[in-house]
Structure 1
Amino acid sequence: MLRGWRRPDDVRVRPTAASLPGVEMVTATVAHIDIAAQVVHTDNSVIGYDALVIALGAALNTDAVPGLSDALDADVAGQFYTLDGAAELRAKVEALEHGRIAVAIAGVPFKCPAAPFEAAFLIAAQLGDRYATGTVQIDTFTPDPLPMPVAGPEVGEALVSMLKDHGVGFHPRKALARVDEAARTMHFGDGTSEPFDLLAVVPPHVPSAAARSAGLSESGWIPVDPRTLSTSADNVWAIGDATVLTLPNGKPLPKAAVFAEAQAAVVAHGVARHLGYDVAERHFTGTGACYVETGDHQAAKGDGDFFAPSAPSVTLYPPSREFHEEKVAQELAWLTRWKT
């Protein structure tokens, strides 16, 4: 979407009855989860359950950083974490004739650790001659010491090197504290500030109100068993971005689709066993891979074991057309599954 290779209808998925045989689909907004009563309240019904899987993702809260919502409303900032947001940001980049684009992470945790840096590569590719000649420059800002810190320093340093090779600036330990939309300036927690002409922001991520209503933690992020994805409630599981899964080194597992998909298969077996079906027990292994598009139909690939005893063991392989094609093939398989 951000690069213009896809349109919203190309990637939007609306599961059909054919793709979910034997499943009763209910389209509604979850208002409240009552764990004690074992019911889910929606905007149009109350649904009881014997087993519950919470997969409510993470919400965006631009009001969490003072001035950020104003900057978005004033069209001096954009975000790429929604379909409409990515399309609108692409249009803003297209209209920028000169100046500085800041790609800033407004808070952690956030979905897809590679996404902000991938966005910088994709924006650079979109700019073409405007970027190659230095008419527009791109800088990235993160509160972390390195990109993708959970993957380890070698991966982070390799990604910084990739950014440098593409002429993209990297500014670590920059916690966004405030945005002045009129002055087009970012202010950080360390007292420094940086100007921009266009801000491409990773908005602060928060637990959804529905997930928070379950009362499974004070923060709203749902703690789960690393192997089974079970929660503190006997018949409740949670998967994906709604969870907080603590790794052996004490850090949280990144929020990424590859993990959510693997967790879903584990939980499906766990739920079946809980309901009395004779199926094999499965455990989440913490292994997974993701891709970092560089904008030129090439992609780097990060692959590894996040459950390794002392720290995640992850390798970032250099960009290649092969990895880009792998990612496209995965996208096609996913869309085909749910559009059948």
Structure 2
Amino acid sequence: MARPKESAAKSVVILGGGIGGIAAANRLRRRLGSQHRITIINRYPEFSFAASYLWVMSGQRKPSQITRPLAGLQRRGIELVIGSIDEIDPINRKVTVQGTEITGDHLIVSLGADYSTASIPGLDQAGMTFATLKGAEALGSSIAGFDRGKLVILTAAPLYRCPAAPYEAALLIDAMLRRKGVRGQVDIELHAAEPAPLALAGSNVSDAVKEILRQHSIDYYPSHQVASAETGRISFTDGETEKFDLLGYMPPIKPPSALSTSALAGSTGWIDVDPNSLLTQFPGVYAIGDNTNIPLKIAKPLPRAGVFAHSQALVVADNIASTIKGNSPTATFDGHGGCFLESDFHRASYASGNFYADPSPKVKTKPPSRRSHLAKVVFEYNVMRRWL
């Protein structure tokens, strides 16, 4: 039987150098010959591992330990373009970066999500976010000097990146204060815009997280949507207010600005894709990760989380490589994924399952253990040491 004939040299252009983008680039480089070009376009010259921001906040990592120059990709035969994307033309698979046009035979759009802190008046001035590296470092410094009063963790909207992060932040802050010996002098409250922790994963997961919060004496207030904030006080849409001495928050998100004028944007502003192949409506154009809109059977979107961006990246990379090699693409994203929830410095819970299940996601959770914590450490190592 004759082997499929590999096509002439092709180019794959990846928009975004986050977890999904670098996973796709590495996979493609391993699967394709050197005659095929792989290019990553990213706004900034460095990659930072967002899953470890809370470890920076809690003093378990330094920013330099979770940051790498994207230039390291060039040693692997991956081209790098640094600059802001002005325009995306999915029909012609063309991207304009600061006036320069770049065209690919295949496009992978992995631009993530932009933060929309300004949509909540006063929030940026009232507190610090643990969702950015700079913010996590600043919040950690403030906690280091905090020894009494009320500390509030806030999710500013029901839709945000990494559903476990606010709950993980509260638990790690609890551990920080216990290590300092001042936990008894600090009240920790978690006010969430969503109705339950990790609600899309099901009531069994939500109940498990609520029980962990209870065990750590963290007061939890669900369905509490913030309207505005000022120094020392939060106002909620139900008319209630809450005073605080220190505020850490998860900001709302919005589609990346590069999508706003692109034909890729669907009715929600995010990119609609086939849930299994991650193909958009445009031939040869894929989208993965946070910038996608993938409705689940329960009419809610697939959560924005790095684990999904990573899995989707491998599926898309494998299918592009198969196509270039003259084979039929067969890889599919099946909706499986999981996330870690650090409960202290050495233990983590782990929730995983099938988010595409009908009629609702089927997810199970494992209680906090050292093994799950170490699994997250290993994943961090693989990203930081083997991909860049």
Q: Does 1:94 align with 2:149?
A: no
From 231, 244, 250, the counterpart of 1:196: 244
Q: Does 1:206 align with 2:254?
A: yes
Aligned residue in 1 for 2:61? 6
Query: Are 2:153 and 2:249, in contact at CA under 8 Å, matched by a contact in 1?
Result: yes
Amino acid at match of 2:214: K
RMSD of Structure 2 on Structure 1 (CA): 1.8
Aligned residue in 2 for 1:267? 316
Aligned residue in 2 for 1:186? 234
Query: Are 1:246 and 1:253, in contact at CA under 8 Å, matched by a contact in 2?
Result: yes
Query: Are 2:73 and 2:79, in contact at CA under 8 Å, matched by a contact in 1?
Result: no
Q: Does 1:146 align with 2:196?
A: yes
Structure-to-structure mapping, 1:36-115, within 5 angstroms: 36-71=91-126, 77-115=127-165
Q: Which runs of 5+ in 1 are unaligned?
A: 72-76
* Counterparts of 1:247 and 1:277, CA distance in 2: 32
From 51, 75, 89, the counterpart of 1:34: 89
Q: Does 1:326 align with 2:375?
A: yes
Query: Are 1:185 and 1:193, in contact at CA under 8 Å, matched by a contact in 2?
Result: yes
**Once structures 1 and 2 are overlaid, which stretch shifts more, 274-283 or 232-241?**
274-283
**Deviation digits for residues 236-268 of structure 1 (CA, Å, limit 9, x no counterpart):** 110001111111222211111111111011111
**Deviation digits for residues 107-143 of structure 1 (CA, Å, limit 9, x no counterpart):** 1321111000000011111112667652111111111
Aligned residue in 1 for 2:185? 135
Query: Are 2:319 and 2:331, in contact at CA under 8 Å, matched by a contact in 1?
Result: yes
* Counterparts of 1:234 and 1:243, CA distance in 2: 16
Query: Are 1:14 and 1:338, in contact at CA under 8 Å, matched by a contact in 2?
Result: no
Shift of 1:39: 1.6
Q: Does 1:171 align with 2:221?
A: yes
**Once structures 1 and 2 are overlaid, which stretch shifts more, 119-128 or 38-47?**
38-47
Question: Please, what TM-score do these two structures have when normalized by structure 2?
Answer: 0.81
Question: Please, what TM-score do these two structures have when normalized by structure 1?
Answer: 0.92
Q: Between Structure 1 and Structure 2, how many residues are aligned?
A: 332
* Counterparts of 2:317 and 2:328, CA distance in 1: 10
| SS class of match (1:145) | coil
Q: 1:62 to 1:133 in 2, by over 3 A?
A: closer
Shift of 1:44: 4.8
**Deviation digits for residues 17-56 of structure 1 (CA, Å, limit 9, x no counterpart):** 5676343222222122122443211115111222211000
| SS class of match (1:309) | coil
Fraction of identical pairs, as percent? 35
Q: 1:17 to 1:105 in 2, by over 3 A?
A: closer
Shift of 1:210: 1.1
* Counterparts of 1:136 and 1:210, CA distance in 2: 43
Aligned residue in 2 for 1:300? 349
Q: Which runs of 5+ in 2 are unaligned?
A: 1-55
Q: 1:133 to 1:267 in 2, by over 3 A?
A: closer
**Deviation digits for residues 72-114 of structure 1 (CA, Å, limit 9, x no counterpart):** xxxxx11111111100000111122211111000013211110
* Counterparts of 2:65 and 2:234, CA distance in 1: 34
Amino acid at match of 1:176: V
Query: Are 1:98 and 1:130, in contact at CA under 8 Å, matched by a contact in 2?
Result: no
Q: 1:88 to 1:209 in 2, by over 3 A?
A: same
Query: Are 2:93 and 2:285, in contact at CA under 8 Å, matched by a contact in 1?
Result: no
Query: Are 1:139 and 1:170, in contact at CA under 8 Å, matched by a contact in 2?
Result: yes
Query: Are 2:91 and 2:282, in contact at CA under 8 Å, matched by a contact in 1?
Result: no
Query: Are 1:224 and 1:245, in contact at CA under 8 Å, matched by a contact in 2?
Result: yes
* Counterparts of 2:93 and 2:312, CA distance in 1: 22
**Deviation digits for residues 168-193 of structure 1 (CA, Å, limit 9, x no counterpart):** 01001101111122xx1111111111
Structure-to-structure mapping, 1:111-122, within 5 angstroms: 111-122=161-172
| SS class of match (1:134) | helix
**Deviation digits for residues 185-238 of structure 1 (CA, Å, limit 9, x no counterpart):** 111111111111111010111111013332321432111111011112222110
Aligned residue in 2 for 1:74? none
